[in-house]
Amino acid sequence: MLPILYAGLVLGVLGLIFGLVLTFASKKFHVDVDERVAKVREACSGANCGACGYPGCDGFAAAVVAGEAPVNGCTPGGAESARKIAAIMGTEAGDEKERLVARVRCQGAKGIAKERYVYDGYVSCATAASMAGGPKDCRFACIGMGDCMNHCSFGAIKMVDHLAVIDEKKCTACGTCVATCPRNVIELLPASQSVIVRCRNSDIARVARAVCMDACIGCGRCKRECQYEAIVVENGYARILPDKCTRCGACAKVCPCNCIVVS
């Protein structure tokens, strides 16, 4: 009986000593952590996407508590997380920003945009883009190898016929795809903006038309049709100004190239 007691006692004393050392250490090495940081970290999306401009959600949470970042800074979290963070910080959520979504400004799917060569290398838009200007003839087209899809933390992008298709319900406008796309095809636009020019080919009409059936040739018919001066034709392609556009869709009806799309 005695050896068992003895062993237990030694282990107990060892444990006690370590416990005391740890207790002492936790007092000695105590770091003041604002409990709001953890709460703010909970309230934001947790995607670590970097859309807020801070290194990950932890960086954002620390900046919010330090008063450097706005409470509505978490783009993927949207209005809901802005409200939660404002409640934690005891301030107002401020003006609600309109929800943005990522939109693909290209319709050059397989069969519509001309192919330059058959690409059989490593499946990545960035790699393909460096091979003689990419596998599609149009130098502004979506390459369709899915770099944006692979970087999307929310599974909102899928590739259909070598073209990125964005699920607007899942998109949180974090902007990762915008930064990833080597062709700068994706743009963040207000969710309510249902009329979009789905091409950004800057080439002159003849060249643009030669490489893609649905290319914007910069003819300006949409601009003349629009009563609200919401369309500008710059750099050889049309662009709709979301602030002025009334989403009437008149421009889409006159576009000779089918590159204005009403969703």
Residues in contact with other proteins by CB under 8 A are: 6-7, 10-11, 14-15, 18-19, 21-22, 25-26, 28-31, 122
**Residue located via tokens 């990125």:** 164
Tell me the C-alpha distance between 257 and 263, whole Å. 17
Cβ closer to other proteins: 25 or 241? 25
| Least distance CB 123 / other proteins (angstroms) | 9
3-class DSSP state of 31: coil
Cβ closer to other proteins: 23 or 235? 23
| Least distance CB 172 / other proteins (angstroms) | 25
| Least distance CB 75 / other proteins (angstroms) | 24
Cβ closer to other proteins: 28 or 206? 28
Two structure tokens written together for 54: 């801070």
Cβ closer to other proteins: 22 or 254? 22
Tell me the C-alpha distance between 40 and 242, whole Å. 32
Q: How many CB atoms lie within 10 A of CB 62?
A: 19
Cβ closer to other proteins: 56 or 70? 56
3-class DSSP state of 70: coil
Cβ closer to other proteins: 129 or 138? 129
249: alpha, beta or left, given left = phi > 0 and alpha = psi -120 to 50? left
| Least distance CB 58 / other proteins (angstroms) | 8
| Least distance CB 101 / other proteins (angstroms) | 30
| Least distance CB 48 / other proteins (angstroms) | 13
CB-neighbour burial class of residue 29 (10 A; exposed 0-12, middle 13-18, buried 19+)? exposed
Residue whose C-alpha is closest to residue 40's, from 80, 71, 79: 71
Written as one letter, the residue type at 70 is: P
